[in-house]
């Protein structure tokens, strides 16, 4: 055994010393073979891959299994957290449901006691936003619903968050909604917490102005703005936005409606034409009232 080790020691030393050069030479030789006979190299590579593929597949299965287990564990933890949050939210919503039912019963009893006139029946049509003005001087969108669907000029257009605008033009199958940020938009509103009245005036920016407030008005950032119901345009209480700036340069309001994600609008008929009734409509209404004919 000892003489054999003495013979192999110089060979091992020589291999350690010239291993890098041997690898470079082998790689260079493979490149030359690949250039000379590409089909042969491709067949050899395919053969090697076919031989190694079952081994790699067998080795990858435990790794994939462990990865699936870890992913399911993370998803289970997330689901548990979401479940706990949903339980809390459900309990909170049940509480507010009980409060709402009690207030509804009290409101009905008081309305009956005062012989109060009931609120008018509301109808609505949901339309998809198919185009917007995209101009610098107009803030409006086009929806795929018109007179054939029951939409009329002056009706309120709402998103899930709040008031978006009103119907300014209407055709048979389409309607144009003037947004509350347009320079031609003027909406009577109140500050929800203080009940102080004002006008929300659009100026083609994303933050319309709150004007014509009383001098003693208490304005603070974060206050909610809702419709006041004056002018017969919109009913009171529709959410509009919240104050984001109040100072010497005026009061600015951030609307609840998100224009960048506006895909559908609900056009609601509150039966309040108000100041939006045109002269032709007013003339037709007077003629119908005088002759007893339907409008």
pLDDT class for 119, splitting at 50, 70, 90?
low
Among 67-71, 149-153, 163-167, 269-273, name the one with the lowest average pLDDT: 269-273
Print the domain residue range for 91. 12-118
pLDDT of res. 278: 46
Model's pTM, two decimal places? 0.57
**Residue-level pLDDT at 7:** 59
CATH number of the CATH domain containing 244: 2.40.10.340
Identify whether residues 207 and 257 lie together within a single domain. yes
Q: Is the pLDDT at 228 greater than 70, yes or no?
A: yes
* Segment 160-178 mean pLDDT: 91
The answer to whether residues 99 and 151 belong to one domain is no
Within this chain, do residues 138 and 261 fall inside the same structural domain, yes or no?
yes
Please state the rounded mean pLDDT for residues 2-17.
64
pLDDT value of residue 288:
43
Question: Residue 225 domain-assigned?
Answer: yes
Residues 107 and 180 in one domain: no
- 3-7, 113-117, 146-150, 251-255: which has the minimum mean pLDDT? 3-7
Q: If DSSP states are collapsed to H, E and C, what string results for the chain?
A: CHHHHHHHHHHHHHHHHHHHHHHHHHHHHHHHHHHHCHHHHHHHHHHHHHHHHHHHHHHHHHHHHHHHHHHHHHHHHHHHHHHHHHHHHHHHHHHHHHHHHHHHHHHHHHHHHHCCCCCCCCEEEEEEEEEECCCCCCCEEEECCCHHHCCCCCCEEECCCCEEEEEEEECCCCEEEEECCCCCCEEEEEECCCCCEEEEECCCCCCCEEECCCCCCCCCCCCEEEECCHHHCCCCCCEEEEEEEEECCEEEEEECCCHHHCCEEEEEECCCCHHHCCHHHHHHHHHHHHHCCCC
Is 231 found in the same domain as 210? yes
- Quickly state the pLDDT bin for 275 (edges 50, 70, 90): very low
Instruction: Verify that 83 and 187 share a domain, yes or no.
Output: no
In terms of domains, do 98 and 156 share one? no
The answer to whether residues 109 and 132 belong to one domain is no
Same domain, 105 and 133: no
Domain shared by 131 and 178, yes or no: yes
For the cut 60, the answer to whether the pLDDT of residue 114 exceeds it is: yes
Residue 7 forms part of a structural domain: no
Give domain status of residue 292, yes or no: no
Domain edge (last residue) among 73, 91, 118: 118
Flag whether pLDDT at 177 surpasses 90: yes
Q: Which of 102, 118, 134 is the last residue of a domain?
A: 118
Q: Is residue 129 domain-shared with residue 113, that is, in the same domain?
A: no
Q: What is the mean pLDDT of residues 23-33?
A: 73
CA distance 156 to 163: 7
| Boundary residue ending a domain (94, 118, 142) | 118
Average pLDDT on 168-196 reads 91
Report if residue 6 sits inside a domain.
Answer: no
Q: What is the mean pLDDT of residues 26-43?
A: 69
Q: Do residues 75 and 19 both lie within one domain?
A: yes
Number of domains in the chain: 2
């Amino acid at each position: 055994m000892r003489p054999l080790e003495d013979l192999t020691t110089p060979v091992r030393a020589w291999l350690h010393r010239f291993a890098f050069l041997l690898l470079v030479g082998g790689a260079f030789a493979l490149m030359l073979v690949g250039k000379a006979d590409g089909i042969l190299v491709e067949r050899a590579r395919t053969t090697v891959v076919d031989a190694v593929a079952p081994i790699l597949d067998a080795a990858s299965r435990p790794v994939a299994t462990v990865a699936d287990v870890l992913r399911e564990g993370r998803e289970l933890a997330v689901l548990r957290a979401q479940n706990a949050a949903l339980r809390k939210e459900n309990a909170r919503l049940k509480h507010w449901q009980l409060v709402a039912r009690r207030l509804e019963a009290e409101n009905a009893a008081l309305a009956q006691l005062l012989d109060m006139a009931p609120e008018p029946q509301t109808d609505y049509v949901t339309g998809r936003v198919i185009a917007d003005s995209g101009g610098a001087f107009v803030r409006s969108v086009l929806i795929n619903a018109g007179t054939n669907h029951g939409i009329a000029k002056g009706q309120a257009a709402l998103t899930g968050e709040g008031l978006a605008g009103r119907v300014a033009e209407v055709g048979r199958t389409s309607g144009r909604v003037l947004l509350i940020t347009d320079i031609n938009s003027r909406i009577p509103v109140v500050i929800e917490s203080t009940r102080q009245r004002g006008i929300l005036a659009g100026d083609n920016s994303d933050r319309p102005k709150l004007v014509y407030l009383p001098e003693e008005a208490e304005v603070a950032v974060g206050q909610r703005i809702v419709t006041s119901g004056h002018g017969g345009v919109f009913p009171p209480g529709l959410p509009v936005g919240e104050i984001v700036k109040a100072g010497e340069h005026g009061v600015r309001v951030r609307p609840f409606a998100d224009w960048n994600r506006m895909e559908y609008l609900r056009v609601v008929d509150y039966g309040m034409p108000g100041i939006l009734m045109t002269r032709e409509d007013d003339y037709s209404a007077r003629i119908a009232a005088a002759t007893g004919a339907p409008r």
